[in-house]
Amino acid sequence: MGAVNRLDLSRLFADTAALYRRCFRQLLGLGVIPATVAGGTVLALVWLYATTLMTAVVSFNPAGLASGALLAAAAAWLAWLLVTVQCGAMVAQMASQAADGRTPDLRAALRETTTLVPRLLLPCLVLSAATWLVSAVGVTVGLNVLRAARLSAAADRTAALSAVLTMLGSVALAALASVAVTWWLRVKLFLLLPAASLDKLPGFAPVQRSWQLTRGISGLVFGALFVVGLAEGAVVGIGSQVVSALVAPPAAAGDFAGLVTLVSQLMPALTVTTAVGVAVTAVTGPFLTVMSTLAYRGLTGYRFTPLMSG
């Protein structure tokens, strides 16, 4: 553990970049796969469910929304999660090969990870189901509150306004809590992929291993994730703003046909923005996995590489 704890943020990035360059092409190819799956599913979900989602919100129909769009999103996220787990495990294998001074071998990495998805299927299912459940409950409660506020508006506008303001405040707090929980989980599960890939731990064992090992390096992990996330957000955000300025859709009518038109008008800008996100994530995803592999090797007693010596 001391070898990792002695690394500051700049040292950790330098070591990861040096290892990343040794097998850049293979890692980039593995990064493109889950990034493309994520981008493609986002576009497909928007095309299939955006109009339905907006109609459900306008008509205060939480049941239709929770059983349709949110369920489809949870299923798509499960598929993306499984693809990410498989590709990430292969990245960890190839990073470990390079760290041992061997030539990175994509086929060998695939052979070493053929049983990984079945071993981690249950945790992925639990995570997807929990995400859908939390989203469905949140949407249902929110739309029911808005419906109650709408019904009471005619009789008491002050009470309706108070209900809406309370709802907006609750949404803001829920969003902040969601961000905090997401980042906390990202830190605690930072070592999950190398634990599952290198030591072939089954079920929830990689989760437990990552949870334990990150106790001493939580600040380091958070700093690394924050820097990479900031770079991702800057690149994708700038690209999105440029695209939004170039492709600004005109106002659509306020009926169902208008919603369909609005979705169609937004698709070009969303497609380009998603493509920018795919390109960025294809690079940063493997980079973070290589970083987590280096940290895991140092924490669990793998032979230190020259990159991590001193």
pLDDT digit string, tens, across residues 248-282: 555 544 555 666 676 777 777 788 888 888 999 99
Greater confidence (40 vs 54) lies with: 40
Interatomic CA distance for residues 256 and 54, integer angstroms: 9
Kindly report, residue by residue over 55-97, the tens digit of the pLDDT.
766 666 666 666 677 788 888 889 999 999 999 999 999 999 9
Report how far Cα 218 is from the mean position of its chain's Cα atoms: 19
60 near 147, Cβ under 8 Å?
yes
> Tell me, what's the pLDDT at 191?
94
Torsion angles phi and psi, residue 135, rounded to 5 = -65, -45
Average pLDDT over residues 19-34: 91
Percent of the chain with pLDDT over 90: 32
CA atoms 41, 277, 174, 84: torsion sign? positive
Q: Output 105 or 143, whichever has higher pLDDT.
A: 105
What would you measure as the largest C-alpha separation in the chain, in angstroms?
75
Q: What is the pLDDT of the chain when averaged over all its residues? A: 80
Between residues 276 and 210, the one the model is more confident about? 210
- The closest of 106, 94, 25 to 283, measured between CA atoms, is 25
- Does the global pTM surpass 0.85? no
Asked whether the predicted pLDDT for residue 25 surpasses 80, the reply is yes
**CB atoms inside a 10 Å sphere around CB 275:** 16
Distance CA 175, CA 104 (A): 41
Region 142-166: what's the mean pLDDT?
A: 66
Contact 124, 78 (CB under 8 A): yes
Predicted local confidence at residue 211, as pLDDT: 93
Which residues have a Cβ under 8 Å from the Cβ of 50 and sit 6 or more positions away?
263
Cβ contact 290:264 at 8 Å = no
Mean per-residue pLDDT for 38-62?
A: 76
- Confidence grade of residue 305 (pLDDT, cut at 50, 70, 90): very low
pLDDT, greater one: 292 or 171: 292
Measured CA to CA, the distance from residue 259 to residue 57 in angstroms comes to 12
Give the model's pLDDT for residue 306.
Answer: 41
Over the stretch 158-192, which tens digit does the pLDDT of each residue have?
666 676 677 677 777 877 888 898 899 999 999 99
Residue 304 in this model has a pLDDT that exceeds 60: no
Rounded distance, CA 241 to CA 235, Å? 10
Whole-number CA gyration radius for the chain: 22
Q: Is 223 exposed, middle or buried (0-12, 13-18, 19+ CB in 10 A)?
A: middle
Q: What does the pLDDT average to over 41-55?
A: 79
pLDDT score for 310: 35
* Residues 83-136 pLDDT 10s: 999 999 999 999 999 888 888 889 999 999 999 999 999 999 998 888 888 877
| 175 against 5, higher pLDDT | 175
Q: Which helix (H) or strand (E) holds 172?
A: helix 157-188
> What are the DSSP calls for 93-149, one per residue?
HHHHHHHTTPPP-HHHHHHHTTTHHHHHHHHHHHHHHHHHHHHHHHHHHHHHHHHHH
Predicted local distance difference test score (pLDDT) of residue 188: 94
| pLDDT for the residue numbered 207 | 92
Residue 288 has pLDDT above 90, yes or no: yes
